[in-house]
Amino acid sequence: MRSRALTTLAALVGTSVLTLAGCAGEPAQAPPAADVTATPEFSGTLSVLTKFAGEPLSPYFEKLAAEYQRAHPEVKVELIQETDQSIKDKLKTLTASNALPDVFFTWTGNWAENYVRGGRAADLTKVIGPDTPWGRTFSQASLSAFAYDGKFYGIPLYNNGKFMGYNKDAFAKAGIEVPKTFEELIGSCATLRKAGYEPITFGNKDGWPALHYLQQLFAYNVPPDTLRADFAPATAKLDHPGYVASLKQFKTLVDQCTDTREGTNGVLYSSAQEAFSNGKAAMYYQEILEFDNATSGKVVKPDDFGIFPLPVPQGAAGDPKVIEGAPEGYLINAASPRAALAVDFMKFVTNPDNAKTLSAPPYGQPSTVVGAVTPETSSKAVYEGIDLVNKASGLAIWLDTVTVPEVADAWLSGGEALISGGKTPEQVLDSVRQASASAR
């Protein structure tokens, strides 16, 4: 899950590196490269910025920190736990003040690449490359998601994908089946509304939820090679008709399947999740990371919960087997004097036992460690979701992290304008083209 802080973050990462050059005319004085292969010194304070604030996630790192400290009494693990939304501002602030912690959360795509290009992420190839003992414990796809120019920088913690979650009881009450096409999905909404449900609960106050729909539709409607070229301003044309088709399809879904009376752009994502888990809505487009939380102690129980990929529109010109999603993970500060200790701690975090715990309820974060997600360790929905991700022809990385910040911001504002009626699909796409051209 992403934010409009991307542009500011990219600028801050670049600026913080430029300040290392000192006064005009002086040679750059970059910090010494972190020695991630050194023997760790088990003393001092290790700072870790996570995206696990709040229940049920916060206890995971808290328990691991306590266990690691028991094994190494001279080490203090300082946790900075943020939410999906607040971590963006926290990273922006820490980057601006050159105070990034020893270990910090990252998304894939352009988000992580900003830190790599800015020299803020340690090169971990020697310790987590695919041919290393630690690297071989991860799925190769998850490692590759954090690779740039043949080097490996990220520690993939969990995998992720986006699916439509649905209330089986609501579907049964309305007398409908799981839709096989996007058109069938739209057609089911009136029937579900008559049965007393909001067909699809949706909150877009933070902007990025709209982009999740759009990116999956783009993957369906635009050929893969064209889509990849259009994410890079240097090669982007953004003239394939699949873009306008996707924007129109999304607008139809918002107008016919969501409760727009309260103003979708003013509804929190968490409020939409609650509407589904409390049984008020029949469907909710959600990440695998949310499955266990959406069915914990509310009206919708695990046995009532089903998932399916957003259905493919008829006549789509893209790849019908792509699933939107990406692993999420952690970087190690390239300037950290505790880089070797940070590596040791993250090896502990991702060992097989802790990976299985992470994948199981109540956390439900499917680990990227091979063998951690099984029918015995994970809930049925999480296991099914990861199985579908593994079988997909490819993953469509989140729209606001796969491209450059200026273009991501244009998509964010365009999605909001499309929902409110402030812009037509053609006008939204034109504004994105302009942003892409100015970013070249």
Note the maximum CA span of the chain: 74
Q: What is the pLDDT of residues 279-290, one digit of tens each?
A: 999 999 999 999
Q: What is the pLDDT of residues 109-145, one digit of tens each?
A: 888 999 999 999 999 999 999 999 999 999 988 999 9
Domain count, the chain: 2
Q: Tally DSSP H helices, then E strands, for the chain.
A: 19, 13
pLDDT of residue 5: 46
| pLDDT exceeds 50 at position 394 | yes
Domain that holds residue 177: 162-324+399-438
| Shared-domain flag, residues 246 and 309 | yes
Write the CB contacts of 348 (distance below 8 Å, at least 6 apart in sequence): 64, 68, 354
Backbone φ, ψ for residue 132 (5° rounding): -90, 160
pLDDT of residue 180: 97
How far, rounded to the nearest angstrom, does the alpha carbon of residue 290 sit from its chain's CA centroid?
Answer: 12
**pTM, to two decimals:** 0.84
Residue 389, domain member (yes or no): no
| Shared-domain flag, residues 57 and 107 | yes
| pLDDT exceeds 50 at position 75 | yes
| Shared-domain flag, residues 100 and 126 | yes
Confidence of residue 22 (pLDDT cuts 50, 70, 90): very low
In degrees, rounded to 5, the angle at the alpha carbon of residue 283 between the alpha carbons of residues 282 and 284 is 140
DSSP-assigned letters across all residues of 363-412: T---BSBTT---TTTS-HHHHHHHHHHHHSSEEE--HHHHS-HHHHHHHH
| Shared-domain flag, residues 154 and 10 | yes
Write the CB contacts of 116 (distance below 8 Å, at least 6 apart in sequence): 148, 153
| Shared-domain flag, residues 127 and 169 | no
> Is the omega angle on the peptide bond into residue 40 within 30 degrees of 0, that is, cis?
no
| Shared-domain flag, residues 49 and 187 | no
Q: What is the pLDDT of residues 201-224, one digit of tens each?
A: 999 998 999 999 999 999 999 999
Q: What is the pLDDT of residues 145-189, one digit of tens each?
A: 999 999 999 999 999 999 999 999 999 999 999 999 999 999 999
| pLDDT exceeds 50 at position 25 | no
Residue 126, domain member (yes or no): yes
Pairwise CA distance, residues 142 & 196, whole Å: 41
pLDDT of residue 21: 33
Residue 127, domain member (yes or no): yes
Pairwise CA distance, residues 46 & 102, whole Å: 6
Residue 46, domain member (yes or no): yes
- Residue 382: is it exposed, middle or buried by C-beta count within 10 angstroms (0-12/13-18/19+)? buried
What's the whole-number average pLDDT of the chain? Answer: 91
Average pLDDT over residues 265-277: 88
| pLDDT exceeds 80 at position 15 | no
| Shared-domain flag, residues 227 and 155 | no
pLDDT of residue 237: 97
| Shared-domain flag, residues 230 and 249 | yes
Q: What is the CATH number of the domain that holds 194?
A: 3.40.190.10
Residue 392, domain member (yes or no): no
Instruction: Name residue, tokens 């088990």.
Output: 42
User: Quick count: other Cβ atoms within 10 Å of Cβ 32?
Assistant: 8
Residue 290, domain member (yes or no): yes
Write the CB contacts of 250 (distance below 8 Å, at least 6 apart in sequence): 210, 213, 214, 217, 415, 418
Tokens of 202: 């949706």
| Chosen domain end from 356, 372, 388 | 372
pLDDT of residue 401: 87
pLDDT of residue 26: 40
Residue 211, domain member (yes or no): yes
Average pLDDT over residues 412-431: 96
Q: What is the pLDDT of residues 284-318, one digit of tens each?
A: 999 999 999 888 767 999 999 999 999 999 999 99
pLDDT of residue 11: 52
Pairwise CA distance, residues 298 & 371, whole Å: 30
Instruction: Name residue, tokens 């990034």.
Output: 100
| Shared-domain flag, residues 251 and 172 | yes
pLDDT of residue 14: 52
| Shared-domain flag, residues 58 and 124 | yes
- Percent residues over pLDDT 90 in the chain: 81
- Residue 297: is it exposed, middle or buried by C-beta count within 10 angstroms (0-12/13-18/19+)? exposed
Residue 393, domain member (yes or no): no
| Shared-domain flag, residues 60 and 84 | yes
| Shared-domain flag, residues 144 and 195 | no
